[in-house]
Amino acid sequence: MADHIRQSERNVAPQAGRAARWLAAVAVTVSLAAVSPRVASAQSLWDYSPYRVRVWVALSPRATEQARWTGQLESALLARCRNVFGAGCRIDMAPPPEALWHDVARRPEMLTLQRIGEHDEAVLADDKLILLSVARLGGDYRLTSRELDCQTRTWLPVRRRRCRQEAALAESAMHAVLDAFTPLAVVDRARGNQATLRLRAGMLATDDDSPVLVEPGEVMQPILRRNDRLGNPQAGGVQPVAWTLATVEQRNQSALECEVISGYRNPLGSRGSRRVQRLALAVRPAYAETELTLQTRGETSAPLAGYDVYARRPDEQQSQWVGRSDAAGVVRVSRADQLWTVLFVTSGQRRLARLPMVPGAAPQWIVRLDDDRLRLAAEGTVTGLDEQLVDLVALRHVLAARIRRKIEKKALDDAESLHRQFITLDGRDAFIRKLRDRQQQAVRQSDPQQREHFAAMYAHTLRMANQYLGSELGEQLGAELKQARQIP
């Protein structure tokens, strides 16, 4: 087994060409610092600074007993990672704190920032923490990895892979680390739906396939980090920019030219500040689908059932129906060939939300919306009143026509009877009272934004009532009947 490890370490020694490129990158950094201190200092803080990556490796007892070469495995793994990342990362590997070993090895999805800070607060000052566990299952090894991006305090999805041969374990472990690693960028400029991002350590990448790079077609998730005066993130001060994505259109060395797709106007603002960092993480799906859960706003949220969700993918003109929310408010959105899509949530004919997202990037997204059931009920009430108004106006005109025919035929008693029937119909005042009552019932249950919408709906029906339910027609028919009785 030791021979396998020694052979593996010889295989991962950097080739001369790679070493030369790495030295060239270092030389460029040094020369920039010497020639242009102001430009170099600004860029070296980000573009030329390698990631500080801590890898916690947790080997299960059975895997350790079977392999019997824990230290050699870590050595071979470290050599491979340094070879692949090159100058872009400074990687340190160590076992996790004893109190956290079980979480790292068995349930990395349950580990929290608070627990990490309690046992090793210094690790949160790094750029990345990658959890790597190796367990023996039958004749195979199961490798599990997960990244905590310390800059954005963001947990990335758990990644899993298997290895069948001990000799390939170090190679598989390296790929598990690569699976978990997620490039980070800073928003350099943003205006409208265009933004320029700069990749961390982007100028230190010597190959186009470097893990620190992001290529056109990929997607970045903008994140705002609000710091205190010491530069540490405030409590609750790190938040993703909701329903906003930056799609990479072009990469020029470490600079990414992106289109900003958002449900909001100018979501990134025009510029950051000393205490607000505009960052972005690459989005790489890890799940087959995402559960979109629709809920009402407010402290006591409730599921929204019966809402339709449509998807419009890049370069498509028509939206495709995805599904209708069930009793739990859930619609499942599956991954597709294209990385990102824009979802539209509708209720009836009204569009309630525009949600750019990457299906499969998270197992669940919760969307909080205004409860549209009140609007639908109000629209149903107004529609019913409109239909009543149409029927009432039609009946009034039918009776008016019959009264005038009776007058022409000198059947004045019949005309008088029809006229009394005409007068008993709901007039303008009665109909408007009914309309006001319905409107007040809707307003009492609604919020200010809905009230404005309700007022506009009821105002239209009120105008129609004033126009077509006036008392003039009844008065005119009465006058015609009186005149007919006076004629001998």
Tens-place pLDDT, residues 418-475: 888 888 887 778 888 888 888 777 776 666 666 777 777 788 888 888 888 877 888 8
Alpha carbon distance 338, 364 (integer Å): 19
In single-letter form, the type of residue at position 305 comes to A
Evaluate if residue 18 carries a pLDDT over 50. Answer: no
pLDDT digits (tens, 9 = 90+) for 113-163: 999 999 999 999 999 999 999 988 877 889 999 999 999 999 999 999 999
Alpha carbon distance 348, 381 (integer Å): 15
Q: What is the pTM of this model?
A: 0.73
- Are 235 and 222 within 8 A, CB to CB? no
SS (H, E, C) the chain: CHHHHHHHHHHCCCCHHHHHHHHHHHHHHHHHHHHCHHHHHHHHCCCCCCEEEEEEEEECHHHHHHHCCHHHHHHHHHHHHHHHHHHHEEEEEECCCHHHHHHHHHCHHHCCHHHHHHHCHHHHHCCEEEEEEEEEECCEEEEEEEEEECCCCEECCCEEEEECCHHHHHHHHHHHHHHHCCCEEEEEEEECCEEEEEECCHHHCCCCCCCCCCCCCCEEEEEEEEECCCCCEEEEEEEECCCEEEEEEEEECCEEEEEEEECCCCCCCCCCCCCEEEEEEEECCCCCEEEEEEEECCCCCCECCCCEEEEECCCCCCCEEEEECCCCCEEEEECCCCCCEEEEEEECCEEEEEEEECCCCCCEEEEEECCCHHHHHHHHHHHHHHHHHHHHHHHHHHHHHHHHHHHHCCCHHHHHHHHHHHHHCCCHHHHHHHHHHHHHHHHHCCCHHHHHHHHHHHHHHHHHHHHHCCCHHHHHHHHHHHHHHHCC
| Per-residue confidence (pLDDT) for residue 7, from 0 to 100 | 42
Alpha carbon distance 443, 446 (integer Å): 5
| Per-residue confidence (pLDDT) for residue 447, from 0 to 100 | 65
- Structure tokens, 306: 């019966």
Alpha carbon distance 346, 354 (integer Å): 9
pLDDT digits (tens, 9 = 90+) for 320-348: 999 999 999 999 999 887 889 999 998 87
For residue 244, count CB atoms less than 10 angstroms from its CB and return exposed for 0-12, middle for 13-18, buried for 19 or more. Answer: buried
Mean pLDDT of the chain: 83
Alpha carbon distance 450, 116 (integer Å): 45
- Are 180 and 104 within 8 A, CB to CB? no
Residue carrying the six token digits 């916690």:
56
| Per-residue confidence (pLDDT) for residue 63, from 0 to 100 | 54
Evaluate if residue 32 carries a pLDDT over 70. Answer: no
In single-letter form, the type of residue at position 199 comes to L
Task: Give the mean model confidence (pLDDT) for residues 235-260.
Answer: 93
